[in-house]
Amino acid sequence: MSYFDRLKKMVSAFLPGAASRGGEPGETDSGGVSGLPNIHVLATGGTIAGGRAEAGAGTVYTAGVLGVEALLAAVPAVRAIANIGNEQIVSVGSQDMDESIWLKLARRVNELLARNDIDGVVITHGTDTLEETAYFLDLTVKSDKPVVLVGAMRPAHAAGTDGPANLFDAIVVASSRDSAARGVLVAMSGNVFEARDVTKVSTTASQAFAAPNFGPLGQVHDGRVIYWRRSERASAHRINFDISGLENLPPVGIVYGHVNAPALLVKTLVEAQYQGIVSAGVGNGNLYYKVLGALADAASRGIAVVRSSRVAAGPTIRGVELDDTRYGFAAAGTLNPQKARVLLQLALTRTRDAGEIQKMFDYC
């Protein structure tokens, strides 16, 4: 089918009375064009679905008020690229993302990608915790088909909103065969990032995401994705965690390092029976001596301790200024504290052994 015919088909999909192909309960689809990939868009809320809280020209808005149909209506041109199904999973600001939503989302993505009639999944998400959801899915989705997360920094009503452009790009990325077997991807501001390295680096700029250690995997331009490199971590050696039988995840907290940091926060997590603690330490994951003492005590009680760093880039390496073997700690490598927390939660569903946990951090 020519591009022109596809455009005609796309326009007719928006005319009143256009047929809906439907699917499972909760799914909608505007009808398939053969030869185009079938991409399913799962919406979770965020600024990409943000609307004005009250009349006025200010920047005040509420995340997650627009439904997935409204998001897709803003990007009609995607109908020439893919057959789009859609589903609203939740409608939250991603500051309210939680583990029950993660489990629901990961199960749904696994179900969808196991189907022959689905070629890829796009997930719309708030930007605040997008990187954590992306990494959680990266470790729990059992498919090589593309999974692409996308958000926006400006709500739909704002001048220069970035939501439609980012969503268009995400659908382009999910529709490309080149996107297969790269792990979960994030499409933001024309860049494609791997879930493991991507992080939010600005509270307000529209170029809010970066991959501080290794840079983007590729770029999207004019409806085409071009990859510059492949991540070794997305390879077959990667551990995939089975979440099918889980109702929740082990509790893991993060303690932030700073001058004269108290041991109190570590002790509080121990008393609250957390199973793991990630330290966002200083420099190469170093620890103020009082915090070191409290973490060593926690590890001796069987709590898993992982050293990461509050520094934006570079690995936290074992045994440089601190003897991890002596204290029973693991080192996070290039995972930032919030991603180390995700991996530690999943690792703890399998083991509490510090050596085994270190191996998972070495592989994932």
Q: Which residues bind ligand ASP (CB under 6 A)?
A: 46-47, 63, 93-95, 126-128, 151, 153
The residue nearest ligand ASP at its CB is 126
User: In terms of CB distance, is 46 or 337 closer to ligand ASP?
Assistant: 46
Helices (H) and strands (E) in the chain, counts: 10, 17
User: In terms of CB distance, is 158 or 296 closer to ligand ASP?
Assistant: 158
Which H or E run includes 132? helix 130-140
64 Ramachandran zone, left/alpha/beta (phi>0; psi -120 to 50): left
User: In terms of CB distance, is 122 or 269 closer to ligand ASP?
Assistant: 122
User: In terms of CB distance, is 95 or 351 closer to ligand ASP?
Assistant: 95
Specify whether the CB–CB gap between 84 and 73 falls below 8 A.
no
User: In terms of CB distance, is 126 or 257 closer to ligand ASP?
Assistant: 126
From the CB of 249, what's the least distance to ligand ASP, in Å?
20
From the CB of 166, what's the least distance to ligand ASP, in Å?
11
Separation between Cα atoms, residue 250 and residue 7, nearest integer Å: 49
Selection from 130, 132, 163 nearest residue 44 by Cα:
130
Q: Which residue type occupies 64?
A: G
Q: Is 47 a catalytic residue?
A: yes
From the CB of 267, what's the least distance to ligand ASP, in Å?
31
Specify whether the CB–CB gap between 157 and 192 falls below 8 A.
no
From the CB of 150, what's the least distance to ligand ASP, in Å?
10
From the CB of 75, what's the least distance to ligand ASP, in Å?
17
Selection from 93, 310, 145, 122 nearest residue 212 by Cα:
310
Backbone angles phi, psi at 40, to 5 degrees: -105, 125
Among the options 47, 127, 140, 199, which is catalytic? 47
From the CB of 86, what's the least distance to ligand ASP, in Å?
19
Separation between Cα atoms, residue 197 and residue 199, nearest integer Å: 7
Ordered DSSP codes for 46-74: SGGG-EESSSSSSS-EETT-S-HHHHHHT
User: In terms of CB distance, is 83 or 191 closer to ligand ASP?
Assistant: 191
Specify whether the CB–CB gap between 186 and 210 falls below 8 A.
no
Residues known to be catalytic:
47
